[in-house]
Amino acid sequence: MRKERLIVPVLATIAVVWMVAQLLSSVLFERSLRQALEDLEARGEWRVSQVENRQGWLTSRGRLILSPLLGRPWRLELTYRARHGVLSTDVEGTLLPRLDSVLQKAVGEVSAPSVPRWQGRYQTLSGHTELRLALAPFVIQQNGRELEVRGARVRLEGVFGDWRLRGLLDQLTLTDGLSQLTLGPATLESRYTYIDDAYHFAQRDHLHIEQLALHYPAYDINVAPLDLHSHMELDESELRLKGELVVGDVHVPSEAPDTPLLNGRIEAELSRLNGDAVRQTIRRLRQEAAWGDTSLPMAEGLLARLEPDLRQVLSDSPRLDITTIALDSPLLGLQVNAEGALFFDARRLEELSVTSLDKPVERARWIERIDGDFVWHDAPTVAALWLGLPLGTRELQFDVIRGVWRVNGRPMPSLWPPNES
């Protein structure tokens, strides 16, 4: 009898614990979702709206709209249905692109077998989230042009402050009459780390394209492989962007099927972009997106209102370092081994106008703020001849003074005939 009397309170305790765990799982899932959406908006690139939210103990469902921060030529409509468990929440839903009427007309007819669906899981205790999306093959046709995508897969996983993305593209083919571009397979690996409100953040990306082929009636160009590495970091003082392009063998089969036309790599870094000004610009953009007309690509007068912040971004005299230019052309017998840097003079920034950069006079003012130098080591004789230098010149020293180029102390010759129009 004593054991039988214990069964009821034990079962009641288990039921209460289960109900509390279910409720906690639902609450933590919703909190994590809100945090993720806020973090996404804090980047200053996206506008996120939760237009539907039905939270429950066992299940929750909702609908999200993601669109570019400025202008709404397209948006992503994401639906989700979450099944809450004690230790984890399983999520599934659909992802539907929506285009405005102008872009829809430009893109043309889209043929896809089904609406893209995604699945994921949220771990209640650790906060770890994993999302997976598979895109079935689809075709876009417009005015005789055709874009065919054979399929793609995306995986996103991480926790607050540390997200990783991996995307796989099977193959993309763009056909325009007798010309054709084929790309793939390709992979994208990305990692994004940040603190609250993205005050500091860092992002690393690596795009690998196994093969890229251009077909024209007269000739073909094949590149294999192609890699693009990028690293962007915003810290207390500055925003820095570093990139590296690695080009595999470029072949023109009709001219030299076995000898590459080109291969090599280029590495560069842009630094000294004022960190506080970058954050202020992002905040201003978010305000404009919240106040502006969602149907307009850019609110009228926006650039003029942003101009003080944009000039302040340049207040620390940004510099562009081209740390490596290493190109080799076995077919032509030429090599380029060079490095250099460009510097921006940030004094009297109030004299410059961002809104008038479409005018040649204003562009000239900006160019006059640029100084720098480049060195081409072991330059070939043909380069010296092209630049009007003595045949024995082996090192080319390029200097930029107030936007004017000089080579080995001489004015830079005009390399192309003037444009007669």
pLDDT tens sequence across 255-268: 888 899 999 999 99
pLDDT tens sequence across 268-312: 999 999 999 999 988 887 777 666 554 444 555 778 888 899 999
Confidence of residue 75 (pLDDT cuts 50, 70, 90): confident
Distance CA 337, CA 395 (A): 10
In a domain, 366, yes or no: yes
Across the chain, mean pLDDT equals 82
In a domain, 411, yes or no: yes
Q: pLDDT value at position 313?
A: 95
Q: pLDDT value at position 318?
A: 96
In a domain, 172, yes or no: no
Q: What mean pLDDT do residues 28-34 have?
A: 67
In a domain, 327, yes or no: yes
Please count the CA atoms within 13 angstroms of the CA of 79 that sit on its side-chain side.
7
Total structural domains in the chain?
A: 1
In a domain, 390, yes or no: yes
CB 228 within 8 Å of CB 245:
yes
The residue range of the domain holding 380 is 272-421
In a domain, 341, yes or no: yes
pLDDT tens sequence across 383-415: 888 888 888 888 999 999 999 999 998 888 876
In a domain, 334, yes or no: yes
Q: pLDDT value at position 29?
A: 61
Q: What mean pLDDT do residues 67-89 have?
A: 75
Q: What mean pLDDT do residues 321-343 have?
A: 94
Q: pLDDT value at position 65?
A: 81
Q: What mean pLDDT do residues 170-190 have?
A: 92
In a domain, 36, yes or no: no
Q: What mean pLDDT do residues 357-382 have?
A: 93
Q: pLDDT value at position 184?
A: 83
Q: What mean pLDDT do residues 226-244 have?
A: 95
Give the whole-number percent of the chain exceeding pLDDT 90: 41
Q: pLDDT value at position 196?
A: 75
